[in-house]
Structure 1
Amino acid sequence: MKKYLAQAAVAALAVGFATETMAEEWNVSLWGKRRAFTEHVEKLAELVSEKTGGEFTLNISYGGLSKNRENLDGISIGAFEMAQFCAGYHRDKNPSITVLELPFLGVNTLEEEVAVSHAVYDHPAVQADLARWNAKLLMTSPMPQYNIVGTGEARDELAEFEGMRVRATGGIGQAFSAVGAVPTSVTATEAYNAMESGVVDTVAFAQHAHFAFRTIDQATWWTANLNPGTVNCPIVVNTDAYEGLSDAHREALDSSVDEAIAHYLANYGELLNKWDSVLAEKGVQKVELAESEINKFRDVAAGPIRDKWIADMTAQGLPAQELYDLVVSTLEAKRAE
């Protein structure tokens, strides 16, 4: 009898170890708070848990694991398994994906942004670039074209941008610099204080971020049609962690990306639908620049910044022209669907 009890105990213990081995927990490093910009990660966590019966869970942290500018470093050393970052925060660490932050690329919708981002992410040179940080690109965080909010008298002519201190990163910052503005790359979480203290006159964000980081609460005006570009913010996973997943867990993760993105797009669409009513409620003037002013901006910023990017990235050994052409051809193909 004792023999059978001992065997049963060992078997139960083995089952327990097997169950424990099958369970998978990943830590995910985001920042700020839950908002439209993070809804695809929240949905991804929900879907992965559902598909694996709770055996694979994503523990999402908003700033508790790392600073937003250090998320790629955290991924590289395996401090956490998944993270979000923005290319413009450290252009030297992810030069290949900065093609997606070039000004005036002509991307008009979130769906187009998803298409061009994922096409670039799939390019072997881009994957090799991020592999230096032990990072695998999983999905984008599509954002609409940035526009600026400001205080004081509205600026509706390009000449009024001269000397304007603007919170803007990446290619958007370069574009503003080209017309005489003074860009600063304070992080999203620092933008409100920078605006309040007068460190910046204006802040360039997508709509969700003007909500989430409360810059809209200080604004007296907002540019409705400047649309100089956007920021590219991928979700990446630690390569070792990804390769260490069981086949079932990896399939659960990969197969959930498209649905997570679809959820993000639907949620962001609802936010955009209520944007005008929020402006009216807060008494924020909607400024529309004349098409001639926008054309001036495009002439000064688009071509020269693109050409310099291609030259600089080619010198670094990247297939820069090929990456830029990929964006253009993907955009054309998406519009032809």
Structure 2
Amino acid sequence: MKKYLSYTAVAALSLAFAGEAMATEWNVSVWGKRRAFTEHVEKIAELVSAKTNGEFTMNISYGGLSNEKENLDGISIGAFEMAQFCAGYHADKNPSLTVMELPFLGVETLEQETALAQALYAHPAVQADLARWNATLLMPTPMPQYNFVGAGDVPDSPEDFKGMSVRALGGIGTAMQAIGAVPTSMSATEVRQSMDSGVVKAVSFAPHAHMSFGTIESATWWTANLNPGTVNCPVVANTDALNALSDAEREALLGSVDEALAHYIDYYENETMKAWGPALEERGITSVSFDQASLDAFKEAAAGPAAQSWIEENSARGLPAQELYEFVTSKLTEIKGGS
């Protein structure tokens, strides 16, 4: 009897270890803290775990796995299975994505930004670009148009940015340069200290990031309608890790993207934006709206030259830049026509 029980115990332990080995865990690298920007990552982890009865889980790390500017590098070597990054942090690593960061593309809503990004991510040239990093694009992080918070004198027109040091990534930086500002690129986690120390006088972010990274704590003004563009920040998976999933696990992951994005948009519109106005009022931050003539002049000075420069620079890299630019602009027209 004792011998039989011993064998049973061993068998039970073996089965337990086998079950444990069969479970799939992914490490996910993001940064900062949980906020609107990461809600779709949190949601997809929740959905995947539920759909697989806890057999496929995601450990989301806020800065513990990698610096945000090195998340794509970490994906390439399999240091973690999933990550979020912003194309503007390293345009040379993902030039195809930066077409979405060109100023004044004309995107008006998070839904339009989502549809446009998903269409771009399916383009063969973009997939080949990311494949160099062993990365597969999973979903975008749609954000509203960026605007600036700043300290000091309130600008009366875009021309007042001339000579001003500003934090502005990608195409937003190009646009600001066109009106004489001095843009500098830095990651979100570096911004508060740079603003407090006076390294930059104004910072461009979407509203959630201004609140999350504390730029409004030392700000005196906010540009309500400058709207020069936004930053493209995809969520990617290590391609080998994605291919190693079972069919059921892969379906659980890919089949959860749309629901995760819908949750993100709902959260942004109904939680983040609801808090934004009161956050400005509580701190006595002046909201600046520029007149249409000034905005039109800004767009004319920035949009065309930035697009042409992007096309020339990336064509020289061997990217089908003209094709990608025309794809994005025509696709946006199509999306807006159907909305």
TM-score, normalised via structure 2 length: 0.96
Q: Name the SS of the counterpart of 2:326 in structure 1.
A: helix
Per the alignment, residue 243 of structure 1 pairs with 243
Spell out, residue by residue over 1:127-153, the C-alpha distance to the aligned partner (whole angstroms, 9 max, x if none): 110011111100011110000011111
Larger mean Cα displacement after TM superposition, 315-324 or 196-205 = 315-324
Distance 1:14 1:330 in 2: 55
Distance 1:283 1:301 in 2: 31
Question: What RMSD over aligned residues (CA atoms) do the two structures have, in Å?
Answer: 1.5
Spell out, residue by residue over 1:181-235, the C-alpha distance to the aligned partner (whole angstroms, 9 max, x if none): 0001121111111110000000000000000001011111100000000000000
Per the alignment, residue 26 of structure 1 pairs with 26
Per the alignment, residue 82 of structure 1 pairs with 82
Larger mean Cα displacement after TM superposition, 309-318 or 293-302 = 309-318
Q: Name the SS of the counterpart of 2:148 in structure 1.
A: strand
Larger mean Cα displacement after TM superposition, 1-10 or 91-100 = 1-10
Matched residue count = 337
Per the alignment, residue 316 of structure 2 pairs with 315
Q: List aligned pairs for 1:1-337, cutoff 5 A.
A: 8=8, 11-270=11-270, 271-337=272-338
Give the Å deviation of 1:280.
1.4
Distance 1:195 1:84 in 2: 24
Contact 1:115 1:330 in 2 (8 A): no
TM-score, normalised via structure 1 length: 0.96
Distance 1:147 1:215 in 2: 12
Q: Name the SS of the counterpart of 1:264 in structure 2.
A: helix
Q: Name the SS of the counterpart of 1:274 in structure 2.
A: helix
Q: Name the SS of the counterpart of 1:138 in structure 2.
A: strand
Contact 2:147 2:228 in 1 (8 A): yes
Q: Name the SS of the counterpart of 1:311 in structure 2.
A: helix
Contact 1:30 1:83 in 2 (8 A): yes
Contact 1:23 1:56 in 2 (8 A): yes
Distance 2:158 2:7 in 1: 81
Distance 1:234 1:156 in 2: 35
Give the Å deviation of 1:9.
5.3
Distance 1:274 1:2 in 2: 66
Larger mean Cα displacement after TM superposition, 154-163 or 241-250 = 154-163
Contact 2:89 2:186 in 1 (8 A): no
Contact 1:154 1:221 in 2 (8 A): yes
Give the Å deviation of 1:329.
2.3
Contact 2:104 2:303 in 1 (8 A): yes
Distance 2:207 2:13 in 1: 53
Spell out, residue by residue over 1:159-199, the C-alpha distance to the aligned partner (whole angstroms, 9 max, x if none): 21110100111110111111110001121111111110000
Distance 1:288 1:105 in 2: 20
State the identity %. Answer: 64
Q: Name the SS of the counterpart of 2:177 in structure 1.
A: helix
Distance 1:261 1:283 in 2: 33
Give the Å deviation of 1:277.
2.2
Structure 2 gaps of 5+ residues are none
User: In the alignment, residue 49 of structure 2 is paired with which amino acid?
Assistant: S
User: In the alignment, residue 158 of structure 1 is paired with which amino acid?
Assistant: P
Give the Å deviation of 1:7.
6.2
Distance 1:113 1:93 in 2: 22
Give the Å deviation of 1:238.
0.5
Structure 1 gaps of 5+ residues are none
User: In the alignment, residue 293 of structure 1 is paired with which amino acid?
Assistant: S
Give the Å deviation of 1:11.
4.4
